[in-house]
């Protein structure tokens, strides 16, 4: 059959050639861009997966940069803290030198005080000026802000980290479940006459600070024993008090501090001077209340087994729940360390010794430094830290005479200046404040160092590994395989050439009809 209006072989050749040219164009596009997916129609499902992976890759890249920047911030902060540490150590050296009053003159002590003043001012200047870009590091702007902290229950509060995932503020509830205790030994003074020593006695008084021996003459009221013990408190760490304020009620020897590290030991050296002159000491059984908090009678306590014989007793650390979690107690201080909340609190003795009291609450209303470490903005991929002010008026917080005093109190004219210490003949308070300040700075450096090493560096390495794997996955989906594409290009080129020749032949077939017309 010979028809000329419709050239079917030509149509078939055109269709095939068109497909071949489309294939050729596709291979050329993939080879020129290096991508297997250039538009959605190339691979719809692959495009969706690839775009999600690319989104993750961008987040991971940013997480790596965030970690690197956070490391730079921490390194800058730690460098400033190292200078503060050096200044505090120099102040300690000057205080120790000034305490040697028998070997240096007033002029030398004045020169030391000038150096101390200069060092304290430098510490405050570093606190105010240490910065990373426009971000102040040590002036307290990166510390947490607290509201509702009752001074009657909490002496000192420092928040290390807090998670505000459930709101703009975080309420903290502190519930004391076991009382802090001092080491305590009780003597009932059951003598005739009551409340006096029947004969001379020599007592060995031992506590956390050391051991001393006192000798009491016969016929002395127990108030003299109390005075003799208290005169040595700075050397032993042991205090004495009359029970209920009356020598006839007996006396109590107790450690000046609370906690399991505090203890009191009282031993009589040698035997009694006359028959019946015993010096029997008693202590409370574990978990029993402190006798000074409640009135008591010796016979009822002994009969109930509340008191037992003993010449040494240790204190006990406070135990408390913080937002339902059991905190670590040491003396009057408690600490909690968890991803959602990390803090240290020093309770007052009134709060730490009354488990039946109403729980104490306060709010963390904001502040802190928040570091975004992961590719997604979620609490699990964030880490927070509080960096307190390093100003001299905030360092070295110590209880001195019932009040909290700071490093700034060592300056000229202040409570713990060299002149005031010489007048009192005691540099202990100044030394304790300095020790607390050094510990505070050193612990902060350690916390920041641990954060940089264990959080930032490990997070950076983890994200870099994640970036490599995600990039490999995205490449397998989206990137062109040049070996495959060039082989397909060669095939398409051959088909395009042969298709063109076939189309030419198909078009020539219609012309053969002219031969039928003669």
Q: Is the dihedral of CA 396, 402, 408, 410 positive or negative?
A: negative
pLDDT tens per residue across span 339-374: 889 999 999 988 998 888 899 999 999 988 999 998
Q: Does residue 277 or residue 430 have the better pLDDT?
A: 430
Average pLDDT in the chain: 86
CA distance 39 to 36: 9
Q: Place 296 in a pLDDT band, splitting at 50, 70 and 90.
A: very low
**Predicted confidence (pLDDT) at residue 274 exceeds the cutoff of 60:** no
Identify the H or E element spanning 351.
Answer: helix 349-352
pLDDT band at 291 (very low <50, low <70, confident <90, very high): very low
Q: Give tens-digit pLDDT for 11-46.
A: 888 888 888 888 888 888 888 888 888 888 888 888
Write down the residue that tokens 């020598």 correspond to. 247
Average pLDDT on 161-173 reads 85
Decide if pLDDT at 472 tops 80. Answer: yes
pLDDT(89) > 90: yes
Q: Which carries the bigger pLDDT value, residue 75 or residue 32? A: 75
Question: Which stretches within 263-327 are classed as H helix?
Answer: 298-303
- Residue-level pLDDT at 305: 52
Q: In this model, does residue 304 exceed pLDDT 70?
A: no
Rounded average pLDDT over 142-160 = 92
Q: Under 8 Å CB-to-CB from 189, ≥6 apart: which residues?
A: 195, 196, 222, 247, 248, 249, 250, 251
Long-range contacts of 138-141 (CB under 8 A, 24+ apart): 138/77, 138/80, 138/81, 138/387, 138/389, 138/390, 139/389, 139/391, 140/388, 140/389, 140/391, 140/394, 141/367
Q: How many CA within 13 A on the CB side of residue 351?
A: 23
What is the biggest distance separating any 2 CA atoms in the chain, rounded to whole angstroms?
A: 163
| pLDDT at residue 292, rounded to an integer | 41
State both tokens at 400. 């001195």
Classify residue 164 as exposed, middle or buried by CB count within 10 Å of its CB (0-12, 13-18, 19+).
middle
Q: Which among 439, 490, 422, 441 has a CA at the least distance from the CA of 98?
A: 422
Would you state the pLDDT for residue 190?
66
Residue 508 CA, distance from chain mean position: 89
- What is the crossing angle of helices 8-33 and 482-509, to 10°? 160
Looking at residue 12, its pLDDT comes to 84
Of 404, 282, 330, 292, nearest to 180 (Cα)? 330
The pLDDT-based confidence of 166 (bands split at 50, 70, 90) is: low
Q: Where are the alpha helices (DSSP H) in 398-481?
A: 418-424, 428-451, 458-478
Of 293-297, 393-397, 487-491, the poorest mean pLDDT is in 293-297
Mean pLDDT, residues 127-140 taken together: 92
Bridge partners, residue 344, by sequence: 158, 335
Q: Is pLDDT of 295 > 50?
A: no
Q: What DSSP string runs through 166-194?
A: TSS-EEEEEEEEE--B--EEEE----SST
Segment among 52-66, 259-273, 321-335 with least mean pLDDT: 259-273
Residue 321, pLDDT above cutoff 90? yes
Angle of CA points 124, 448, 405, to nearest 5°: 40
Mean pLDDT of 249-278: 82
| Rounded distance between C-alpha atoms, residue 263 and residue 257, angstroms | 9
- Measure CA 60 to chain center: 26
Q: How many CA atoms lie within 13 A of 252 on its CB side?
A: 22
Write down the pTM of the prediction.
0.80
pLDDT digit string, tens, across residues 444-460: 999 999 999 999 999 99
pLDDT of res. 484: 85
pLDDT at 239 over 80: yes
Nearest Cα residue to 340 out of 507, 217, 162: 162
Binned at pLDDT 50, 70 and 90, residue 411 comes out as very high
Distance between CA atoms of 362 and 367, rounded to whole angstroms? 15
- According to DSSP H, which parts of 42-105 are helical? 44-98
Of 157, 171, 156, 179, the closest CA to residue 323 belongs to 171
Q: What is the pLDDT of residue 247?
A: 80
- pLDDT average, residue stretch 47-68: 92
pLDDT of residue 300: 46
Strands 312-314 and 263-269, sheet pairing: antiparallel
Task: State the pLDDT at residue 293.
Answer: 39
Q: What is the pLDDT of residue 90?
A: 95
Find, among 165, 149, 164, the residue nearest to 345 by Cα: 149
Mean pLDDT calculated for residue range 83-91: 96
Of residues 249 and 232, more confidence is placed in 232
Q: What share of the chain is helix, strand, coil (3-state, %, to 5)?
A: 45, 25, 30
């Amino acid at each position: 059959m010979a028809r000329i209006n419709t050239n079917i072989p030509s149509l078939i050749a055109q269709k095939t050639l068109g497909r071949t040219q489309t294939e050729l164009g596709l291979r050329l596009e993939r080879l020129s861009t290096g991508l297997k997916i250039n538009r959605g129609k190339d691979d719809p499902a692959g495009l969706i997966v690839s775009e999600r992976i690319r989104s993750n890759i961008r987040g991971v890249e940013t997480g790596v940069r965030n970690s690197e920047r956070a490391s730079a911030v921490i390194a800058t902060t730690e460098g400033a803290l190292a200078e503060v540490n050096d200044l505090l150590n120099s102040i300690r050296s000057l205080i120790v030198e000034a305490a040697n009053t028998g070997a240096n003159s007033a002029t030398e002590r004045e020169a030391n005080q000038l150096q101390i003043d200069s060092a304290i001012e430098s510490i405050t200047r570093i606190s105010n000026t240490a910065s990373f870009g426009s971000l102040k590091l040590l002036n307290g702007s990166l510390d947490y802000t607290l509201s509702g902290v009752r001074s009657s229950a909490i002496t000192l509060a420092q928040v290390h980290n807090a998670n505000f995932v459930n709101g703009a503020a975080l309420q903290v509830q502190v519930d004391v479940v076991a009382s802090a205790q001092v080491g305590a030994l009780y003597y009932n003074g059951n003598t005739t006459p009551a409340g006096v020593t029947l004969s001379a006695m020599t007592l060995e008084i031992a506590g956390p600070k050391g051991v001393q021996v006192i000798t009491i003459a016969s016929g002395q009221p127990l108030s003299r024993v109390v005075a003799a013990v208290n005169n040595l408190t700075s050397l032993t760490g042991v205090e004495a008090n009359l029970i209920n304020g009356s020598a006839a009620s007996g006396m109590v020897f107790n450690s000046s501090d609370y906690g399991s590290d505090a203890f009191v030991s009282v031993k009589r050296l040698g035997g009694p001077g006359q028959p019946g002159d015993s010096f029997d000491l008693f202590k409370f059984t574990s978990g029993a209340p402190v006798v000074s908090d409640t009135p008591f009678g010796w016979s009822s306590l002994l009969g109930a087994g509340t008191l037992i014989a003993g010449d040494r007793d240790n204190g006990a650390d406070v135990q408390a729940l913080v937002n339902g979690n059991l905190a670590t107690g040491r003396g009057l201080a408690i600490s909690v360390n968890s991803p959602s909340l990390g803090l240290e609190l020093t309770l007052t003795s009134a709060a730490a010794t009354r488990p039946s009291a109403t729980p104490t609450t306060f709010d963390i209303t904001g502040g802190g430094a928040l570091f975004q470490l992961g590719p997604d903005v979620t609490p699990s991929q964030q880490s927070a830290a509080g960096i307190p002010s390093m100003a001299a008026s905030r360092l070295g917080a110590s209880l001195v005479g019932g009040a909290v005093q700071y490093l700034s109190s060592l300056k000229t004219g202040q409570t713990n200046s060299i002149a005031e210490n010489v007048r009192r003949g005691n540099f202990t308070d100044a030394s304790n404040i300095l020790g607390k300040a050094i510990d505070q700075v050193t612990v902060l450096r350690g916390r920041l160092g641990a954060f940089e090493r264990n959080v930032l560096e490990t997070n950076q390495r983890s994200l870099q590994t994640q970036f490599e794997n995600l990039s490999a996955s995205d490449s397998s989906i989206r990137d062109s395989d040049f070996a495959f594409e060039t082989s397909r290009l060669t095939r398409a080129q051959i088909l395009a050439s042969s298709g063109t020749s076939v189309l030419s032949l198909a078009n020539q077939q219609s012309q053969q009809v002219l031969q039928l017309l003669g």
